Chain A
Amino acid sequence: MKGEPVVILLVEDDPAHAEIVRRNLEDFRIGNRLVHVTDGQAALDYLYRREEFSDPALSPRPGLILLDLRLPKVEGLEVLKTIKGDPDLGRIPVVILTTSGTETDMVKAYDNHANSYLVKPVDLERFVELMKTLGYYWLAWNSYPY
């Protein structure tokens, strides 16, 4: 059990969509720290503490990753694969947030062990529902298995 609030990593290139996520969290009164990166490469750099994120103090390990699929430089699916293929990072729950509701995307995401898949616009109810599930376990009790 750690006393520190869990960090949520949001990977989203669209500033408006990032704002939506932020507001949703606010509305649900989730006070966790939200780290926002705008492309797949940055997300990986953050997770692996490279480049600008090389200082561990500035890049705490996230307890939850909210990942858009359509990302500049490195695609969301690639990021997912890298995370889930890493024995260490693989345990971090990854929630896919995307505008695409196509089945192939969803299948690919789940094939690569995404923990959940949400299609934008994520209505408040469903987001709350998900956050509840996740939050109840991951955020409120702050207990994650590492």
Chain B
Amino acid sequence: MSLRIRLLLPIFLLCCISVTYFYGFWMSRSVASGESIYRESIEGHLATIEKGLIPLMVSRQLDMVYGEFDELLKENADWRGITLFDARGKLLYPLSGKPLSQPREKGQDVRRFERIIKYRNVSLGRLIIDVDFGPRLKSIRAGHRGPRIMFLSGLFFLFLLTFLFVDRIVTRPVRVLSEAAGHLAGGDFSTVLPKSGDDEVGMLVAAFSSMREAIGRYQSELRDEIAEHRRAEEEVRASRERYRSLFMNMLEGFAYCRMLFENGEPRDFVYLDVNEAFGTLTGLKNVAGKKVSEVIPGIREANSELFEIYGRVAMTGRPEKFETYLDSLGIWFSIAVYSTEKENFIAVFDNITERKLMELALREREEMLSFSGRMAQIGGWEFDVGTGEGTWSEETARIHEVDPKAPTGVETGLSFYRGASREAIESAVREAIESARPYDLELEMVTARGTHKWIRTMGQPVREGGRVVKVRGMIQDITERKQAEEALRESGRRLKRAEEVAHLGHWRLDLGTGLVTWSDELYRIFGVAPETFRPSAGSYLEFVHPGDRESSSRVTEMIRREGTGVFEFRIIRPDGGLRHVSGYGEVVHNAAGSPTAIFGTLLDTTELRQKERELQEKNAELERFTYMISHDLKSPLVTVKTFLGYLEQDLARSDTARVGKDLNYIRTAADKMGQLLDELLEMSRIGRIESPPVRVGFGDLVGEALSLVAGRIVEKKVDVRVGDQPVILYGERPRLVEIWQNLLENAVKFMGDQASPVIEIGAEQSGGDTVFFVCDNGIGIDPRYHEKVFGLFEKLDPMSGGTGLGLALVKRIVERYRGSIRLESDGPGHGVCFRFTLPDALRHTTKGEKG
């Protein structure tokens, strides 16, 4: 029940009682009192009427009575009727004769008054008057309305005021306080409180406010305290976790045990608790609660010292640390044991088997190192910068050929070096001391016994507090290596020379790194410089002839696959020169048999090919030559032989005409044979120098040739025009003359029936070369036969004189001077131009002139 209701309920009840009283008691009494007053007044009135009536009745002045009664009815509106009976009960009034019935109308409250009219105790009659009380009562009641409204309104306003007041000063503040308290419970301290007055509620508000502040303060203190507490708790937990984790995760094994004594002697012990590492390190599982003699049977016999130590620690509480080898586990342990309570002990241990093995290996390695130092002739040394005193290893002393026990120092050390070596080592040592710069030198030295040695020495400054205090290093006798190196260098030089001579380069492709190295000769073959070109598996392809690039790019692949391989390609050098090369490569394996590199050679076969081609040409020529011999030399022989047979027959038949013919054929054949042999002889001379080379003018040569064929020129009336180019040649004069002689003969011979035969001879410059020409306007040569004319014994016209050697001879001479010859002719009837060069004959003159 709300406070408001509680406060208002009594007021409400009071109101109810007041209303009940007002309506139920006060009002009815007031009406009753009004009614009785009215009745009394009516009674009084009646009594008056009675008194008046008595004389009349006695006197029987009835009409007077009647008049009186009518007047009465008129005067008193409330009177409903008057009825008068005489003593015998005869109705006297109303005159209508009917006793007044009492009709009841609504809102009427008719009351009957009866009176016996007596005079001297004699009844005169009975009077009845009916009076309507309704209007009278109604007016009384109407008189009550004003006070009633006043009363009710008063009550209502009282109630309302009380309600508002209570609400304003009690309910609302209390509710706000209640809400604030609710918020406060929820931790909200900020609810706005009502104003605190000097009444009880105000005091309550003030008290609440101060309580809230107190709670706030207390709460914040509490909070801090809780946080502090939590932190502490967390720390404890973390620490516990850490220790637990340390215990569980520590790499060292941990065992908490109780020692069992028998007659004061440690006999056995029980594992109380172990960590995980225990299992990992020992390989033992589920040992907690078990005796060691169960877990590791025979341990007492095998490792009695373990029991002694554990027993001692368990009894005395003095911690001990030791290393031991457990046979039964095959493990080396490092164990620290301590005791916190008597007869119990804690062992913390580690498996140090690996370390032990390493120590063993290290010892072996040290021995090995010392051994290999001796074997490799490497010694160590060091000296003190301050004092200059030093020490060195036995091997160092051995290298210097001095007594290992003799004292040494920096001065002694340096005294073994002379000349440039001395300067080098002194400056290196100085640098090491002053600038803390390490050094690594290869030097020549002379030992105490005068032996010349090559050594490698390395020095490493040792610093302390920023200052070099010591220099420490090693020394190695590298005499043999140096000699080997020198031998290698020599062999390298020879190889290089050999490669140069043979035009053979070599290369190496490292299969691991992909690095390619070339020998000097290889660079020369490619026409590139090592400074500007970097060889690689692909970069060289740039110089490979485009036609060979694809096959060349697959070479390494092929060699890798096959183990070895040969290949050929063409190179176009940066300067445009074309070279033919052929190469060989093979895979190199290491000791383990895996391929490490490809080693190969590359041979410049250009000259070889040139020679080969020349040889082929010579061979072909030789073949042609034998062919010619077999035909052309045999041919006259066949003729001679056959016609000798005919001659015999003809002589037998004495057919003189035929004899003459036969003899003529035989003679012609013999002549032809002679001519052939002469020219062949001439031809064979070309390759050999028969006369000393001389300087001769072009004009002189042509002049001499002309003089040799002068007869035929004159005979055919040929107009010969010779150019006056000032060309000087250097060579065998007769050979050079033969060129022009043969060409002139040829021109004259094939002039045909030209009406005005002309031969032009001259020289002209063309593309830096001097080109000589001999042109005629004779019968010309069909382009089909242009090459054929230069062949041995080739004749285009079987009827013409000559053996067919002339132009072959010219070609040979021209080639002898490294020149070339070609003929130009637009075909039969257009004449022929022979054009040729003689570079060697001209080169020598230029040289000679310059010289």
* B40 CB, nearest partner CB in chain A, Å: 188
Judge whether B796 and A72 touch: CB under 8 Å. yes
Judge whether B797 and A72 touch: CB under 8 Å. yes
Interface string of A114-129 (1 = CB under 8 A from B): 0000001100100000
Contacts of A83 in B (CB 8 A): none
Interface string of B624-653 (1 = CB under 8 A from A): 001100111011101101110110000000
Contacts of B643 in A (CB 8 A): 16, 20
Most buried by A among B642, B794, B799: B642
How distant is the Cα of A102 from the Cα of B629 in the complex, in angstroms? 11
Judge whether B641 and A121 touch: CB under 8 Å. yes
Judge whether A17 and B630 touch: CB under 8 Å. no
Asked if A13 is at the interface of the complex by the 8 Å CB criterion, the answer is: yes
Contacts of B794 in A (CB 8 A): 72
How distant is the Cα of A127 from the Cα of B631 in the complex, in angstroms? 19
How distant is the Cα of A101 from the Cα of B639 in the complex, in angstroms? 16
Judge whether A99 and B634 touch: CB under 8 Å. yes
Judge whether A99 and B642 touch: CB under 8 Å. no
How distant is the Cα of A88 from the Cα of B635 in the complex, in angstroms? 32
A17 is contacted by which of B626, B638, B796 (Cβ under 8 Å)? B638
A-B contact count (CB 8 A): 62
How distant is the Cα of A93 from the Cα of B795 in the complex, in angstroms? 27
Q: Which residue of A lies closest to B633 (CB)?
A: A99
Mark out the residues of chain B between 411 and 470 whose CB falls within 8 Å of any chain A CB in the assembled complex: none
How distant is the Cα of A98 from the Cα of B665 in the complex, in angstroms? 18
Q: Which residue of A lies closest to B629 (CB)?
A: A100
Judge whether B639 and A17 touch: CB under 8 Å. yes
Q: Which residue of A lies closest to B794 (CB)?
A: A72
Interface SS of A by simple majority: loop
Q: Which residue of A lies closest to B666 (CB)?
A: A16
Contacts of A33 in B (CB 8 A): none
A101 is contacted by which of B630, B645, B795, B796 (Cβ under 8 Å)? B630
Judge whether B796 and A16 touch: CB under 8 Å. no
How distant is the Cα of A85 from the Cα of B191 in the complex, in angstroms? 130
Mark out the residues of chain B between 614 and 630 whose CB falls within 8 Å of any chain A CB in the assembled complex: 626-627, 630
Judge whether B641 and A99 touch: CB under 8 Å. no
Q: Which residue of A lies closest to B782 (CB)?
A: A73
Asked if A14 is at the interface of the complex by the 8 Å CB criterion, the answer is: yes
Asked if B21 is at the interface of the complex by the 8 Å CB criterion, the answer is: no
* A54 CB, nearest partner CB in chain B, Å: 17
Mark out the residues of chain A between 1 and 21 whose CB falls within 8 Å of any chain B CB in the assembled complex: 13-14, 16-17, 19-20
Asked if A69 is at the interface of the complex by the 8 Å CB criterion, the answer is: yes
Q: Which residue of B lies closest to A99 (CB)?
A: B634
Mark out the residues of chain A between 45 and 83 whose CB falls within 8 Å of any chain B CB in the assembled complex: 69-73
Q: Assess A19 versus B798: contact at CB under 8 Å? Given A69-B631, A70-B631, A70-B632.
A: no
Judge whether B798 and A13 touch: CB under 8 Å. yes
Asked if B113 is at the interface of the complex by the 8 Å CB criterion, the answer is: no
Contacts of A39 in B (CB 8 A): 796, 798
How distant is the Cα of A20 from the Cα of B631 in the complex, in angstroms? 16
* A7 CB, nearest partner CB in chain B, Å: 21
Q: Which residue of B lies closest to A12 (CB)?
A: B798
Asked if B184 is at the interface of the complex by the 8 Å CB criterion, the answer is: no
Contacts of B638 in A (CB 8 A): 17, 20, 99, 120-121
* Count of A interface residues, CB-CB < 8 Å: 23
How distant is the Cα of A100 from the Cα of B785 in the complex, in angstroms? 23
How distant is the Cα of A71 from the Cα of B796 in the complex, in angstroms? 9
Mark out the residues of chain B between 640 and 682 whose CB falls within 8 Å of any chain A CB in the assembled complex: 641-643, 645-646, 665, 668-669
Q: Which residue of A lies closest to B645 (CB)?
A: A124
Judge whether B798 and A38 touch: CB under 8 Å. yes
* B786 CB, nearest partner CB in chain A, Å: 12
How distant is the Cα of A98 from the Cα of B630 in the complex, in angstroms? 10
Q: Which residue of A lies closest to B664 (CB)?
A: A16
How distant is the Cα of A69 from the Cα of B788 in the complex, in angstroms? 16
Judge whether A17 and B785 touch: CB under 8 Å. no
B639 is contacted by which of A14, A98, A124 (Cβ under 8 Å)? A14
How distant is the Cα of A38 from the Cα of B796 in the complex, in angstroms? 10
Most buried by A among B631, B641, B645: B631
Contacts of A20 in B (CB 8 A): 638-639, 642-643
B630 is contacted by which of A16, A100, A124 (Cβ under 8 Å)? A100
Asked if A23 is at the interface of the complex by the 8 Å CB criterion, the answer is: yes
Judge whether A100 and B631 touch: CB under 8 Å. yes
Contacts of B785 in A (CB 8 A): 73
* A36 CB, nearest partner CB in chain B, Å: 11
Contacts of B799 in A (CB 8 A): 38
Interface string of B16-27 (1 = CB under 8 A from A): 000000000000
Q: Which residue of B lies closest to A75 (CB)?
A: B788
Mark out the residues of chain B between 773 and 804 whose CB falls within 8 Å of any chain A CB in the assembled complex: 785, 788, 794-799
Q: Which residue of A lies closest to B788 (CB)?
A: A73
Mark out the residues of chain A between 100 and 146 whose CB falls within 8 Å of any chain B CB in the assembled complex: 100-102, 105, 120-121, 124
Judge whether B798 and A100 touch: CB under 8 Å. no
Contacts of B798 in A (CB 8 A): 13-14, 38-39, 71-72
How distant is the Cα of A101 from the Cα of B665 in the complex, in angstroms? 23
Contacts of A70 in B (CB 8 A): 631-632, 635
Contacts of B641 in A (CB 8 A): 121
Judge whether B665 and A102 touch: CB under 8 Å. no
Most buried by A among B639, B641, B643, B645: B639
Interface residues of B (CB under 8 A from A): 626-627, 630-632, 634-636, 638-639, 641-643, 645-646, 665, 668-669, 785, 788, 794-799
Can you spell out 20 A-B residue pairs with CB atoms less than 8 angstroms apart?
Answer: A13-B798, A14-B639, A16-B639, A16-B642, A16-B643, A16-B665, A16-B668, A16-B669, A17-B639, A20-B639, A20-B642, A38-B798, A72-B795, A73-B785, A73-B796, A98-B631, A99-B632, A100-B631, A102-B630, A121-B638
Query: Given A16-B642, A17-B638, 10 other A-B contacts at CB below 8 A?
Result: A14-B798, A16-B665, A16-B669, A20-B642, A38-B799, A100-B627, A100-B634, A120-B638, A121-B638, A124-B645
Interface residues of A (CB under 8 A from B): 13-14, 16-17, 19-20, 23, 38-39, 69-73, 98-102, 105, 120-121, 124
Q: Which 7 A-B pairs have the closest CB atoms?
A: A13-B798, A16-B639, A70-B631, A99-B634, A120-B638, A38-B798, A121-B638
